[in-house]
Chain A
Amino acid sequence: MTAQNPAIRTEKLMRRLDGEVPVTLVKGADVDIYSGEFVAITGPSGSGKSSLMYLMGLLDQPTGGRLWIAGHETTKLGSDALADIRLSQIGFVFQSHFLLPEFTALENVMLPMQRLGRATAADMKKRAAALLDSLGLGDHQHKLPKQLSGGQSQRVSIARALANDPPIILADEPTGNLDSASSQNVQGILKQLARDHGRAVVVVTHDPAFAATADRIIHIVDGHIVDEHTVNEHIVDTSPVA
């Protein structure tokens, strides 16, 4: 471990699904991710990259190993304690924007703040509006998700992920459903969040070009981390994935 505590630390992290044919999704992952780092997780479909991200995001419970988020060991915590850590420490961006359809863009961004309940309604509204404005959505605050384009919706979901100012952003194929221009825009925002705002940003992606812009790439095959390197020390394998 370096002098700085990692924002996310995993130690021999395992995830096994029991059933008629048991499947191990993640096999002993040891990963340290630091604040200000932009890390890409790559690998073929079904390799376990999303599973690793769900474990890091406390959405799934590991069946072995240990996991620390912002220095707190989480493997023995109950579901409510894990939810509290997610609320204050982690922001999620998914392939689909998953905005609540009955709420406007502004209201969607305010949701995590309202759940946390640490600010007044006026302050929440102000912060949500500022976040949307910073992502170029100042004129779309009062629109419902169905009135927004795919790229706009994804930017709203990024604003929602940033609502409680979490130190960790986890993004699962955030550009998977976007056109080229929107994709570039979202990639730029995520990189900026790591480099300019000091957040630990982890992105699961199939896109080798996107991954190539990361500070570090973790490559997973069949649940094993087979390669982990900083981009400037290794040329990433850009061959098509299965």
Chain B
Amino acid sequence: MKLLVSMALRHLLARKRQSIVSLLGIILGVGFFLAISSLMQGSEKDFIRRLIDNAPHITVSDEYRNVKPQPVHKAYPDAVVELRGSRPQTETRGIRGFEQILTALKKTPGVAASPSLTGQALVSFAGRDVAVSLNGMIPDDIIAVTKIAEYMTDGRIEDLNINPNGIIIGEELARKMAIKKGRNITLAAPNGQVRSFKIVGLFRTGNAGYDESQAFITLKRAQALLDRANRANSIIIKLDDPYDARRFAAELESRITYKSMSWQESSEDLMSTLAIRNIIMYTVVSAVLIVAAFGIYNVISTVVMEKQRDIAILKSMGFHAADIKKIFVIQGVLLGIAGNMAGLPLGMGLMLTLMQIRFKPPGSLEEISMPIDWSSPQFAVAASFAMIASIVAALLPARKAAHVQPVDILRGTA
């Protein structure tokens, strides 16, 4: 093998310029493949992390996935052909027995849960009215399932325990209405109830839309304002293992019958968009490496053409066809290794450069940097793809070389 490697290396060194051009193709291919793939994977991981961190892992809502069957359907499942004039029972919206469900969930290891009653309300202050989404919750529970406590810029969530008539609003809403912490505002519900609340805290998530449209009060006050005594219309669940959400949600739904949606299910359309984006990205960056592989094919094909006499003499000496094939495949391997050795550092340089870029996405108040995934699989995928492309590109001319008939070359007929 040492002899074959030596021959392969000398063939490449004898054609320095061509070899360097091919090598540059691989280096650039590996570099860009690594940089773009790590950027895409980084943004995907960042997106999923944000999704897991900021959104509930499971949301139990006061809906049923399927309409409840009529009693007659239950009694005679095969006999009922059609049931006319039936209509679902009218019932107050909200999860019945949410407190029992909550107690059971809280006893489950690795599970945190918080009830929530949401509804629309109109915030009035100094003659200005702004519609907000009102979140009624239990402060101690909400802290365990959301990051709202981390987003508090003034006051604390727990202040709602001290002042049950308190309200926490976003900084954007406060800015829009020109109010500060400590001032009283009026909340009007769609049912006509109007109550006064004191601002006990401000939060800032960085998402302008959220910061100007959400408000938090205690669950009891929300139930009173929205006229939904002893009801919650959702239960937010956080798991220690967010990737177990789908299974846990299905199991929970089978027990309580209320629709329990995991973060994976609620983000399926986004996930499929990410998958399509990845396919497009890998196709584009792979194209760069495929073009580079053509460069390798070209240089090795040229060597094979030029080395017909050498191949013939090696075969006449007693070298096997497989030996000849190996000489040219090794050339592809050497170019692939050298391409990776220079291409991976180039890719890392590009990744570091991309990390320096800071920008403010639409709807965000904070500047963010490009999320880059530095995990080893990124490097392994880029290096493996380059190696495979190099070997496949070398294999075609190598096979041709292996089939050279020495007698044709020595006679001068080939």
Contact with A along B297-315 (1 / 0, CB 8 A): 0000000000001101111
Contact across chains for A102 and B11 when beta carbons are under 8 A apart: yes
Contact across chains for B316 and A57 when beta carbons are under 8 A apart: yes
Contacts known (A59-B410, A60-B407); A115 close to B316, Cβ less than 8 A: no
Q: Which of B199-207, B241-249, B318-326, B363-371 contacts A (4 or more CB under 8 A)?
A: B318-326
Q: Which of A57, A98, A102, A115 contacts B3 (CB 8 A)?
A: A115
Which residues of chain B come closer than 8 Å to A60, judged between CB atoms? Answer: 407
A20 at the binding interface (Cβ < 8 Å): no
Contacts known (A54-B407, A102-B14); A112 close to B313, Cβ less than 8 A: no
Q: Which of B309, B323, B407, B411 contacts A115 (CB 8 A)?
A: B323
Which residues of chain A come closer than 8 Å to B310, judged between CB atoms? Answer: 98, 100-101
Which residues of chain B come closer than 8 Å to A85, judged between CB atoms? Answer: 318
Contact across chains for A116 and B410 when beta carbons are under 8 A apart: no
Contact across chains for B316 and A88 when beta carbons are under 8 A apart: no
Q: Which of A87, A88, A94, A111 contacts B410 (CB 8 A)?
A: A94
Taking the nearest CB of chain B, how far is it from the CB of A54, in angstroms?
Answer: 5
A92 at the binding interface (Cβ < 8 Å): yes
A114 at the binding interface (Cβ < 8 Å): yes
Give the CA-CA distance A57 to B277 in the complex, in Å. Answer: 61
Which residues of chain B come closer than 8 Å to A112, judged between CB atoms? Answer: 317-318
Taking the nearest CB of chain B, how far is it from the CB of A153, in angstroms?
Answer: 13
Number of A-B residue pairs with CB-CB distance less than 8 Å in the complex they form:
65
CB-nearest residue of chain B relative to A94? B410
Q: Which of A59, A100, A101, A114 contacts B407 (CB 8 A)?
A: A59
Contact across chains for B318 and A115 when beta carbons are under 8 A apart: yes
Give the CA-CA distance A116 to B3 in the complex, in Å. Answer: 11
Q: Which of B13, B313, B320, B406 contacts A80 (CB 8 A)?
A: B320
Give the CA-CA distance A111 to B13 in the complex, in Å. Answer: 19
Contact across chains for A83 and B320 when beta carbons are under 8 A apart: yes
Contact across chains for A83 and B318 when beta carbons are under 8 A apart: yes
Contact across chains for B317 and A115 when beta carbons are under 8 A apart: yes
Contact with B along A89-118 (1 / 0, CB 8 A): 000101010101111000000011011100
B10 at the binding interface (Cβ < 8 Å): yes
Which residues of chain B come closer than 8 Å to A92, judged between CB atoms? Answer: 313, 316-317
Which residues of chain A come closer than 8 Å to B323, judged between CB atoms? Answer: 115
Which residues of chain A come closer than 8 Å to B3, judged between CB atoms? Answer: 111, 114-115
Contact across chains for B407 and A102 when beta carbons are under 8 A apart: no
Taking the nearest CB of chain A, how far is it from the CB of B310, in angstroms?
Answer: 5
Chain B interface, number of residues (Cβ within 8 angstroms): 24
Give the CA-CA distance A92 to B406 in the complex, in Å. Answer: 12
Contact across chains for A100 and B313 when beta carbons are under 8 A apart: yes
Give the CA-CA distance A114 to B411 in the complex, in Å. Answer: 27
Q: Which of A80, A86, A96, A102 contacts B317 (CB 8 A)?
A: A86
Taking the nearest CB of chain B, how far is it from the CB of A159, in angstroms?
Answer: 13
Which residues of chain A come closer than 8 Å to B320, judged between CB atoms? Answer: 79-80, 83
Which residues of chain A come closer than 8 Å to B315, judged between CB atoms? Answer: 59, 83
Which residues of chain B come closer than 8 Å to A84, judged between CB atoms? Answer: 318
Contact with B along A17-41 (1 / 0, CB 8 A): 0000000000000000000000000
A50 at the binding interface (Cβ < 8 Å): yes
Which residues of chain B come closer than 8 Å to A59, judged between CB atoms? Answer: 315-316, 406-407, 410
Q: Which of A83, A86, A98 contacts B309 (CB 8 A)?
A: A98
Q: Which of A86, A103, A116 contacts B316 (CB 8 A)?
A: A86
Contact across chains for A115 and B319 when beta carbons are under 8 A apart: yes
Which residues of chain B come closer than 8 Å to A86, judged between CB atoms? Answer: 316-318
Give the CA-CA distance A50 to B319 in the complex, in Å. Answer: 21
Contact with B along A156-195 (1 / 0, CB 8 A): 0000100000000000100000000000000000000000
Taking the nearest CB of chain A, how far is it from the CB of B315, in angstroms?
Answer: 7
Taking the nearest CB of chain B, how far is it from the CB of A47, in angstroms?
Answer: 14
CB-nearest residue of chain A relative to B318? A87
Taking the nearest CB of chain B, how far is it from the CB of A181, in angstroms?
Answer: 25
Contact with A along B397-414 (1 / 0, CB 8 A): 000000000110011000
Give the CA-CA distance A112 to B318 in the complex, in Å. Answer: 7
Contact across chains for A88 and B309 when beta carbons are under 8 A apart: no
Which residues of chain B come closer than 8 Å to A88, judged between CB atoms? Answer: 318
CB-nearest residue of chain B relative to A116? B318
Taking the nearest CB of chain B, how far is it from the CB of A212, in angstroms?
Answer: 26
A-B contact pairs, 10 of them (CB 8 A): A79-B321, A80-B320, A80-B321, A83-B319, A96-B309, A98-B310, A98-B313, A102-B7, A103-B10, A115-B318
The 8 closest A-B pairs by CB, nearest first: A87-B318, A102-B10, A98-B313, A86-B318, A60-B407, A114-B3, A59-B407, A83-B318
Beyond A80-B321, A84-B318: 7 further Cβ-contacts under 8 Å? Answer: A83-B318, A87-B318, A94-B410, A98-B309, A100-B313, A102-B11, A111-B314
Where the two chains meet, the residues of A that have a C-beta atom closer than 8 Å to any C-beta of B are: 50, 54, 57, 59-60, 79-80, 83-88, 92, 94, 96, 98, 100-103, 111-112, 114-116, 160, 172
